[in-house]
Amino acid sequence: MTSDIYNPLYVDFDYYTDHLEEEDALYKKIRSNSEKISDIVFDENTPTIIKSICQRFTLTDQQSALLSRLIRKILVAEVFIGDLIKELQGQLDLPPSKAQELADALAAELFAPAKDELKELHAKTFGGQQPKQEGNVLNLKT
């Protein structure tokens, strides 16, 4: 299990084994995204990047699994990327400064190759929604 906690696609493997329709829906969402976003999901380096970030921020295994889920939800536009800092604070129980630093690391090290595509996907999905807190990680307004 430990290695799968860093993989947004496999972190919930056991769950999806018993919920195949939900798994199919997830894969459909992934396939409907741009190639750059899908590349992040399927890239064999993604778990390595996430593990490195988790270790650098001294996240527990539980926090690491939650982070992988959150990353997946952002990549399929189930969670608004503009709320990433708020989500990190709430789900991972991080103080604001650490959540901001973690969001910045994710933006630079993981989301950067698909920055424009993520902005487009999230603008289409969430419309003019504004972040619920300061610190729009990918500056979706530009």
Say what the pLDDT of residue 1 is: 45
Say what the pLDDT of residue 138 is: 47
Tell me which residue of 47, 135, 37, 33 sits closest to 87, measured CA to CA. 135
Helical segments of 3-141, H only: 13-17, 20-32, 35-42, 46-56, 61-75, 84-92, 96-106, 115-126
**What is the number of other CB atoms lying within 10 angstroms of the CB of residue 88?**
26
Tell me the Cα Rg of the chain. Answer: 14
Compute the distance between CA of residue 17 and CA of residue 106 in angstroms, rounded to an integer. Answer: 28
Compute the distance between CA of residue 31 and CA of residue 8 in angstroms, rounded to an integer. Answer: 15
The arithmetic mean of pLDDT across residues 25-53, rounded, is 89
107-131 confidence digits (pLDDT tens): 999 999 999 999 899 988 888 665 5
